[in-house]
Structure formats: C-alpha cells, structure tokens
Amino acid sequence: MSNVNEEQDIISLFNEQGDEELFEVLFSFHDDDYNKDYIFVYPAGADLDEGVDIFPFIVNSKDTEGTFDEIEDDAEFEMVSEALNRYLDEAE
C-alpha cells in the first residue's frame, strides 16, 4: 500500500514489518504494450550519485488510493529495467 504526494513527489510505502518508509519518485511512464503505468522510487533523502537502490512498481490504475503492485513477470521486469537504463543514460 502507498500514498502519493504529487506536489513533492514523495510517497510512503509499508515494508514487510508494516513500518512506513518514505520514497522519492524518480520518474514514471506508460507502456503501450503492457497498457500499464510504472513508477520508479528510491529512499527519500538518498543521493542518487551514491548508488542507491531504485525500485520499480506498477501503478494500480484500478485503485483510487494510489497503490502499487510489484512486477512479477520476467519479460515485463526486463522492459522496465531497459526504461530505467534509458532514463539514467539521458540524465547524465
């Protein structure tokens, strides 16, 4: 479960222990082949130049509360990884 604050691009996610953690939105995109929206986040306050973990999620369009689903399909994960690599290459 998550909560999106669009003004600051900060979201809260709950870990396996049920504790809330804050993340910053790196970017989001839509893929026509899968007809899904995706979002990439990283721990709030982390320095991207320091090699932080970046987490991809599927934006659950069926839920009006802004929840995310994990990517479980290998081909879909590969497509999302390629999108992240393109984004990071363009950002350099």
Model pLDDT for residues 9-54, shown as the tens digit of each residue: 899 998 889 999 999 999 999 999 999 999 999 999 999 888 899 9
- C-alpha closest to that of 3 among 58, 68, 50: 68
pTM of the predicted protein model: 0.84
What are the boundaries of each domain within the chain?
2-91
Cα 2–Cα 56–Cα 6 angle in degrees, nearest 5: 45
DSSP codes of every residue in 25-61: EEEEEEETTTTEEEEEEEETT--GGG----EEEEE-T
Sign of CA dihedral 72, 84, 52, 39: negative
